Amino acid sequence: MTPTQLQSALKKIVSHGLKRSVMVWGPPGVGKSSIISQVASDAGLGLIDLRLSQLAPTDLRGLPVADGKVSKWLPPEFLPQRGKGILFLDELNMAAPAIQGIAQQLILNRAVGNYSVPDGWFVWAAGNRKEDRAAVFDMPTPLANRFMHYHVEPHFESFRSWAGMRGIHEHIIAFLAFRPTLLHKPDANHPAWPSSRSWELASELHEIGMSVGPAVGPGAEAEFDAFCKLYKKLPDLEKILLKGGKEIPFPEEPSLRYAITIGLSARALSEESIRHGFAWLLANASPEWCQLFIHGIHDRAVKRNQIGLLATLLASDPKMARFLRHVMTPDDA
């Protein structure tokens, strides 16, 4: 499933209060932790994110202390004590078997030692897959059968929506729209390689004028740098957004088409500029480029809680309304 589909499924689990064991599988860097964090934030829940591969058994179970003639376990302070939230046990199958055994008690029994998970908390886990060359331990079949399993894969449209809301640099979004196969491409010969997570870091580096190579590796860096050189050849986008750009043609080069469309959607910040940008694309480009522009505007409107304003704007423009009715599907709009 895509990251967007996973987020939707987890939100439904939360909204219905289904306190069942959840296991999220996916390649490193696909955004499992970010999805869990967003679900918690959207629901107004607390989040405790534990990397099990970095813990020792006593870190999770607690320490034994004498209590008269018996001993009891003092739980660690980082486990939830009250309220509502998500206890997220990441890297479950990368942890040592001893840690996995304790974590399984938390996940399946909602208790370990003298500690019990408060009723308002969900307990979810995530892990990487063997096929992604991650150093993982097998999960016993009887244990696996007690989870609800969700498998997430890299997906550019999900990344594009997420990137728009996170403020990822427009050059990154435009480049990956042109080269979506570089969204997630592990490289066994280099520690830095492209993933959703590393492109976010690349965006931060690019924002301050640094090379993206340390984040995404030399291969992706070379292609991205070449794309950015093409980006400099774009016409003046402000002429399109402020004055309509009637004298400016739509480029023939595919990479420039992605660049100019993403650039327009990123810079169209007012009602007037949105109208001009859309009208220019509608007059000069085929529908898929108009659709890409609307997607970018939509993602920014979601981030700024301006969906109602955007809907009013689009509905008030006959050409936009007609495009939405006849070209874009309900899911796109």
Percent helix, strand and coil across the chain, each to the nearest 5: 55, 10, 35
pLDDT in tens, 86-99: 999 888 878 777 78
Cα-based torsion angle of the residue sequence 127, 130, 136, 139 in order, rounded to the nearest 10 degrees = 70
Read off the DSSP letter of residue 328.
S
d(CA 300, CA 163): 10
Match domain 3-151 to its CATH number in 3.40.50.2300, 1.20.1250.20, 3.40.50.300, 3.90.1300.10: 3.40.50.300
Domain range summary for the chain, segments of one domain joined by +: 3-151, 156-326
d(CA 282, CA 320): 9
- Residue 253: Cβ within 10 Å count: 11
At 306 the pLDDT is 64
Averaged over successive runs of 10 residues, the pLDDT of the chain (333 residues) comes to 91 91 88 89 90 76 72 78 90 79 82 84 86 69 82 87 83 86 86 92 94 93 90 82 84 84 80 84 86 78 66 70 60 45
Pairing of strands 111-112, 85-90: unpaired
